[in-house]
Amino acid sequence: MPRFKINSETTRQYNRFRAAGTELIVRHIPPAAGDSSDAITHFQARGNDLFDYTLRDVNDSDMVGITIRKEVNLQDKAMGISFRRRDQLSDEVI
C-alpha cells in the first residue's frame, strides 16, 4: 500500500547551469485506524519511502536538495537538506 500520494510533479530546465530540477508535491497518507505507531515513527517510515521513490533515478554525482514544509500553515518555516551530491546522502542524514 502506498504511504504517500503525488499531487504534482514538475520538471524544469536550468540552462544557465546545464541542469534539470524536479519538484514533487506529495501528501503523506495518515496512519490506518488501529495503527499503534507514534507520530515520529510514522513520519520516518513515510519519509524513507518517499526518499527512496524520489531518488530512484538519480545518479551518484547528481546534486540533490530536499525541502519539507506544511501545506496548512505556510507561515511555518520549512526544513530541509541543502544541496549535496546523491552519494553523500544516506538514511541517517535524511
Take residue 27 and report the three cell numbers written for it: 501528501
pLDDT for the residue numbered 91 = 66
Query: Mean pLDDT for the chain?
Result: 81
pLDDT band at 1 (very low <50, low <70, confident <90, very high): low
Residues 6+ apart with CB under 8 A from 54: 22, 24
Region 68-82: what's the mean pLDDT?
Answer: 76
Q: pTM for the complete prediction?
A: 0.67
Region 52-71: what's the mean pLDDT?
Answer: 83
Decide: residue 61, CB within 10 A, 0-12 exposed, 13-18 middle, 19+ buried. exposed
